Amino acid sequence: MTMPDEGTNALRALRALENTNSSVRLRAALAVGTTPDPWFIDKLIERCAIEPEFHVREMLTWALTRHSSSMTVPRLVDELRSERAQARSQALHTLSKIGDRQAWPAITRALLTDADDEVARSAWRAAVVLVPEGDEAELAGVLATQLGRGEQGTRLSLSRALTALGEVIMPTLRTAMTDADPRVRQHASATERLLRDPDAGFEFAFEEAKRIVALGTTGQEG
């Protein structure tokens, strides 16, 4: 791939992406996204894997969304096989922002159950965006294997992903509400409450779910 006509400016922008000052890196990512060119794609993805600042990573993702998905999606899918957790997580995040369902086959069970919480959370978000119509119940079944996992932020991410799938998750949640692990039962119950009342708030829903599990009921009516 040849360098853009504005070769000097392009090289300057690419060097700026590696500057020690995060504000300089942020402006560089903005500049690349403002004038997208395929020549930048590999460097943007490479930088996503190591960029320490959240707001710069978000700008890098935005810059990638400004390029043709036919060129970015295959490269991002390749990045999902990286040994670096941040590379996998950021590639998943970017794929969710692009929203091209051609990436769906790459959202594997291994990613949805990744040992790294940030990778798994990014995979959950990407999955609910990219899942083809008719595959929601199967996805819910895989996501439900992660109920009870992690700290509150991780649990909230999973509940949000599940509730985004809608009523199709209910059979899976009902099964999880009878799980031997009380953490799974609590998480499933809290997720069910959020589905019924999205404004309830996760902390309230989870505390209520703990009370219900302690009483030995599911809290379901009828």
pLDDT in tens, 61-71: 999 999 999 99
pLDDT band at 218 (very low <50, low <70, confident <90, very high): very low
- Which H or E element spans position 135? none
Q: How many residues does the chain have?
A: 222
pLDDT, position 14: 84
Q: What is the model's pLDDT at position 222? A: 38
Q: Do residues 46 and 34 make contact, with C-beta atoms less than 8 angstroms apart?
A: no
Sorted by where each begins, the domain ranges of the chain are 133-216
Quote the pLDDT of residue 197: 86
Query: pLDDT at position 198, please?
Result: 83
Reported as a single tens digit per residue, the pLDDT across 138-149 is 999 999 999 999
Q: How far apart are CA 160 and CA 188, in angstroms?
A: 12
Give the side-chain half-sphere CA count within 13 A for 65: 17
Rounded CA separation 134/132 (Å):
6
d(CA 64, CA 71): 10
What pLDDT is stored for residue 221 in this prediction?
43
Residue 70, Cα to own-chain centre: how many angstroms? 20
- At 12, the pLDDT band (50, 70, 90 cuts) reads confident
Q: DSSP assignment, residue 219?
A: -
Which range (31-40, 162-171, 177-186, 207-216) has the least confidence?
Answer: 207-216
Record the tokens describing residue 139, joined without a space. Answer: 């996805």
Give 145 or 202, the one with higher predicted confidence: 145
Query: Would you say residue 205 has pLDDT above 90?
Result: no
State the pLDDT at residue 100.
97
> Structure tokens of 53?
């600042």
Opening angle at CA 97, ends 93 and 98, nearest 5: 115
